[in-house]
């Protein structure tokens, strides 16, 4: 059944105009669709009823018209045709509404419903105009109603466009809001993760703070125990011990002898059984940073201002006495002394720290401190407490005195502490150790040219570690390559005697199961690698000490305040005493040139090592002149030494201090290609070894 037939009013079945007028529904209703954006069956039925009312009005107007004929079959046919037309219009409108909703996915459904409602109302407007034409109205009524309908249609079309644009803008705003919401959620998640991480870090920081507080409490307890515990008495020849505390034998730090204790020199079991005394610079205050120079050494007010700083007199005096004792003390009775390996590691660490401290002092324009003073600075910086630093300074001094003849590194460090050699010697010492290793590697490669590199490295490692002693031809070849013939013979005999003496002592303590014939064949001596290194380094150290001995005596005489440093005026006096190029007739001009060259920042304070570096050419000239003729050459310098070298040539380049020592020993400097940077500062033989290894 069609929508029109379902909505046909029952009043149509009654006969007569009066009955139709009585049964017709009201023409005007408050609202056809009730303000709802939807079309239901009830809405369609109301449209049909309104259409039936308009048809009734039109039929009544036609019957009242002049000359009209009464109802009949023609009127009924017109009504049926109008109903069919309305039903077709409603069906088409509903199909368009369904298609629009499916195409937009529901997004544009309200606008489609509104358009459908307007189409239904527009159809009724057309029927209303048709009914009005049947009535006797003024001629201007119908055009006015038609204009009003067109205005409504235009207004609806404009409203539709505006609604579409507003919908698009709102959709864009909604999309942006959704994107902002997603970004806010992501940012919130990141903030939550960061908050959790910060909370974890805060917990760790609190735990670390608690650990630091516990460690500080433990340190305070240890310091209270150190202040109250009695200190063991000094050994033979000692005096009263300072109340600085004493660690147990299982502790990590050695007990400290008193700062004023002067122990007897350590005895060395070297050749001849001689006793070597340990000499260090006299006592001087050991500050936590470079100390203020005396009034005559601070050349400018700025230098005096930089050098002045507040110190604790009691701690500085105690640390000073331990660091600059006249002789290094022996460990106190009952205290755990440092081993040779510990002393070796400690020496390397202090030398590295001293180099870094010197660089910082030079950058800040402050005077450098002596190596003995830096020992106190090193331990004070490391432990932060003067009492603990005092213990370590005393233990270090005792360890250097005890192991200086048994370990090459400790011996070099002890000589630097006593101002027997300059601090620059440490680089020569390390280079000599590397040269011995390189020469041994070259010898092993020469014996086995086709040996794989990995096997060669294993053989070298076994010998260097001491697992395999050096064969007779291996260590003697190294000595012959590094030294002159006479020196090599002397060193070879010394090494053999020491090794045999050590084996004889071991055999007396525990008789071996069989004869020990050594690693070098019949009559040979298997020498540990460490013994070879000690021999080479000890010989080089002895030669360097002999080379600097005259200048060391002159430096001690110039150091009138016995703090291990000299002033600018004292350095100029040393230069003139050496008879160098800076000490000519015009002393003022020569001294000014020297100070401008070695002290451009006007620090006005020089350590023993700085003095050696500043007057290197004068020292070499003095040593070369004394060794060759017994007289000091006029002018001195490196040029004088090169002039006395028997086989020096222009291709050999300028000679360094180590080569000057070789000349003093009577060893000729061979003509060789220019030195490689890796071998700079070494004897000519060592440089040749480096070139062979590099090749």
Q: For 425-443, write each residue's pLDDT tens digit.
A: 999 999 999 999 999 999 9
Inter-residue long-range contacts of 448-455, CB under 8 Å, 24+ positions, other chains counted: none
Q: How confident is the model at residue 626 (pLDDT cuts 50, 70, 90)?
A: low
Q: How confident is the model at residue 36 (pLDDT cuts 50, 70, 90)?
A: low
CA distances from residue 645 to 383, 648, 676, 680 in whole angstroms, order as listed? 51, 5, 21, 19
Q: Which is it for strands 565-567 and 605-607: parallel, antiparallel or unpaired?
A: antiparallel
Look at residue 87 in the predicted model and tell me its pLDDT: 85
Say which residue, 458 or 23, is predicted with more confidence.
458
Core vs surface per residue 124-137: b (16+ CB within 10 A) or e: bbebbeebbebeee
Q: Is residue 123 part of a domain?
A: yes
Of 430, 396, 397, give the one whose Cα is nearest residue 412. Answer: 430
Say which residue, 605 or 148, is predicted with more confidence.
605
Query: What's the token pair of residue 209?
Result: 């703070």
Say which residue, 303 or 361, is predicted with more confidence.
361
How far is residue 396's CA from residue 337's CA, in Å, rounded to a whole number?
9
Look at residue 23 in the predicted model and tell me its pLDDT: 52
Look at residue 369 in the predicted model and tell me its pLDDT: 92
Say which residue, 637 or 499, is predicted with more confidence.
499
Mean pLDDT of 471-497: 89
Best-predicted range by mean pLDDT among 21-35, 330-344, 450-464? 450-464
CA distances from residue 570 to 10, 130, 292, 380 in whole angstroms, order as listed? 139, 133, 17, 31
Residues in the chain: 695
Res. 486: pLDDT tops 80: yes
Domain boundary among 418, 443, 472: 418
Inter-residue long-range contacts of 5-13, CB under 8 Å, 24+ positions, other chains counted: 5/83, 5/87, 6/45, 6/48, 7/44, 7/45, 7/47, 7/48, 7/49, 7/51, 7/52, 8/48, 8/52, 8/83, 9/49, 9/52, 11/56, 12/52, 12/79
172 C-beta neighbours (distance < 10 Å), count: 10
Is the separation of the CB atoms in 633 and 640 below 8 Å? Answer: yes
How far is residue 572's CA from residue 611's CA, in Å, rounded to a whole number?
10
Q: Is residue 659 part of a domain?
A: no
How far is residue 262's CA from residue 264's CA, in Å, rounded to a whole number?
7
How far is residue 661's CA from residue 664's CA, in Å, rounded to a whole number?
5
Q: Among 52-66, 238-252, 380-394, 561-575, which stretch is predicted with the lowest mean pLDDT?
A: 238-252
pLDDT per position as a tens digit, 126-185: 878 777 777 776 766 667 777 767 766 776 777 777 777 777 888 888 999 999 999 999
Look at residue 13 in the predicted model and tell me its pLDDT: 43
Res. 195: pLDDT tops 60: yes
Domain boundary among 384, 418, 452: 418
Ramachandran region, residue 49 (left: φ > 0; alpha: ψ -120 to 50; beta: rest) = alpha
Domain boundary among 418, 442, 472: 418
Q: Is residue 335 part of a domain?
A: yes
Q: Is residue 384 part of a domain?
A: yes
Inter-residue long-range contacts of 306-310, CB under 8 Å, 24+ positions, other chains counted: 306/364, 306/365, 306/366, 307/366, 307/367
Is the separation of the CB atoms in 693 and 681 below 8 Å? Answer: no
Question: 338 φ, ψ to 5°?
Answer: -75, 140
Best-predicted range by mean pLDDT among 136-145, 265-274, 490-499? 490-499
Q: Is residue 308 part of a domain?
A: yes
Say which residue, 406 or 100, is predicted with more confidence.
406
Query: What's the token pair of residue 228?
Result: 């109250």
Question: 667 φ, ψ to 5°?
Answer: -95, 130
Res. 14: pLDDT tops 60: no
Q: Is residue 344 part of a domain?
A: yes
Res. 415: pLDDT tops 70: yes
**Cβ-proximal residues to 507 (8 Å cutoff; 6+ apart), any chain:** 516
Look at residue 228 in the predicted model and tell me its pLDDT: 57
Q: Report the run of H or E that residue 606 belongs to, with start and end.
A: strand 605-607
Q: How confident is the model at residue 301 (pLDDT cuts 50, 70, 90)?
A: very low
Query: What's the token pair of residue 112?
Result: 């489609």
DSSP 615: T
pLDDT per position as a tens digit, 52-105: 887 787 777 777 766 655 556 667 777 788 888 888 888 888 888 888 777 766
Cα angle vertex 528, ends 524, 534, to 5°? 115
Strand, coil or helix: what is 585?
coil
**Domain boundaries, position 50:** 3-136
Look at residue 20 in the predicted model and tell me its pLDDT: 47
How far is residue 110's CA from residue 101's CA, in Å, rounded to a whole number?
9
pLDDT per position as a tens digit, 328-373: 444 444 345 899 999 999 999 999 999 999 999 999 989 999 999 9
Q: Is residue 655 part of a domain?
A: no
Q: Is residue 550 part of a domain?
A: no
How far is residue 316's CA from residue 289's CA, in Å, rounded to a whole number?
11
* Claim: this prediction has a pTM higher than 0.75: no
Query: What's the token pair of residue 656?
Result: 């360094």
Question: 277 φ, ψ to 5°?
Answer: -80, 145
Q: Give the total number of structural domains in the chain.
A: 2
Look at residue 230 in the predicted model and tell me its pLDDT: 39
Is the separation of the CB atoms in 397 and 338 below 8 Å? Answer: no
């Amino acid at each position: 059944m069609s929508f029109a037939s379902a909505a046909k009013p029952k009043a149509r079945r009654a006969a007569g105009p009066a009955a139709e007028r009585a049964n017709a529904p009201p023409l005007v209703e408050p609202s056809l669709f009730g303000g709802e954006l939807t079309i239901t069956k009830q809405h369609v039925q109301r449209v049909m009823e309104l259409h039936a009312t308009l048809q009734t009005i039109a039929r009544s107007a036609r019957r009242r018209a002049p000359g009209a004929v009464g109802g009949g079959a023609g009127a009924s046919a017109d009504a049926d045709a109008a109903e069919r037309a309305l039903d077709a219009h409603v069906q088409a409108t509903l199909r368009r509404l369904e298609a629009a909703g499916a195409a937009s996915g529901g997004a544009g459904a309200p606008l489609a419903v509104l358009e459908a409602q307007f189409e239904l109302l527009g159809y009724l407007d057309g029927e209303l105009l048709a009914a009005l034409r049947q009535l006797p109205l003024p001629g201007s009524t119908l055009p006015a109603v038609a204009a009003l309908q067109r205005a409504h249609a235009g207004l609806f079309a404009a409203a539709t466009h505006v609604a579409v644009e507003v919908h698009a803008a709102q959709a864009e705003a909604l999309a942006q809001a959704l994107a902002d919401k997603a970004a806010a959620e992501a940012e919130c998640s990141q903030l939550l993760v960061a908050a959790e991480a910060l909370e974890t870090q805060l917990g760790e920081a609190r735990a670390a703070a608690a650990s630091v507080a516990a460690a500080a409490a433990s340190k305070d307890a240890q310091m209270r125990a150190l202040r109250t515990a009695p200190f063991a008495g000094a050994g033979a020849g000692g005096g009263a011990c300072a109340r600085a505390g004493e660690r147990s034998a299982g502790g990590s730090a050695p007990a400290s002898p008193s700062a004023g204790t002067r122990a007897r020199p350590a005895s060395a079991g070297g050749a001849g059984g001689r006793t070597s005394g340990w000499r260090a610079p006299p006592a001087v205050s050991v500050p936590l940073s470079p100390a203020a120079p005396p009034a005559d050494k601070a050349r400018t007010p700025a230098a005096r201002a930089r050098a002045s700083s507040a110190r604790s007199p009691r701690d500085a005096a105690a640390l000073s006495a331990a660091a600059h004792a006249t002789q290094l003390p022996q460990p106190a009775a009952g205290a755990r002394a440092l081993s040779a390996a510990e002393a070796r590691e400690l020496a390397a660490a202090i030398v590295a720290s001293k180099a870094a401290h010197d660089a910082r002092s030079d950058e800040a324009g402050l005077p450098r401190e002596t190596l003995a003073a830096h020992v106190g600075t090193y331990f004070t910086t490391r432990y932060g407490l003067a009492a603990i630093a005092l213990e370590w300074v005393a233990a270090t001094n005792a360890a250097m005195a005890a192991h200086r003849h048994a370990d090459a590194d400790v011996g070099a460090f002890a000589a630097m502490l006593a101002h027997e050699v300059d601090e620059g010697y440490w680089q020569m010492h390390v280079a000599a150790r590397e040269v011995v290793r390189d020469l041994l590697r070259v010898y092993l490669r020469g014996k086995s040219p086709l040996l794989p590199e990995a096997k060669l490295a294993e053989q070298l490692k076994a010998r260097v570690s001491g697992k395999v002693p050096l064969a007779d031809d291996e260590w003697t070849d190294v000595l012959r390559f590094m030294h002159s013939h006479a020196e090599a013979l002397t060193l070879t005999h010394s090494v053999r005697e020491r090794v045999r003496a050590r084996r004889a002592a071991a055999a007396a303590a525990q008789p071996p199961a069989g004869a020990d014939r050594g690693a070098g064949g019949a009559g040979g001596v298997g020498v540990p690698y460490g013994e070879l290194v000690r021999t080479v380094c000890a010989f080089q150290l002895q030669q360097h000490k002999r080379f600097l001995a005259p200048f060391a005596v002159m430096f001690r005489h110039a150091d009138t305040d016995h703090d291990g440093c000299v002033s600018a005026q004292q350095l100029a006096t040393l230069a003139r005493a050496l008879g160098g190029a800076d000490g000519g007739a015009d002393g003022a001009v020569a001294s000014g040139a020297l100070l401008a060259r070695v002290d451009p920042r006007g620090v006005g304070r020089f350590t023993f090592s700085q003095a050696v570096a500043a007057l290197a050419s004068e020292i070499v000239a003095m040593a070369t002149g004394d060794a060759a003729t017994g007289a000091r050459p006029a002018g001195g310098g490196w040029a004088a030494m090169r002039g006395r070298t028997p086989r020096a040539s222009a291709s050999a380049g300028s000679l360094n201090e180590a080569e000057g020592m070789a000349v003093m020993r009577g060893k000729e400097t061979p003509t060789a290609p220019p030195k490689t940077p890796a071998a700079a500062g070494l004897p000519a033989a060592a440089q040749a070894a480096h070139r062979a290894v590099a090749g």
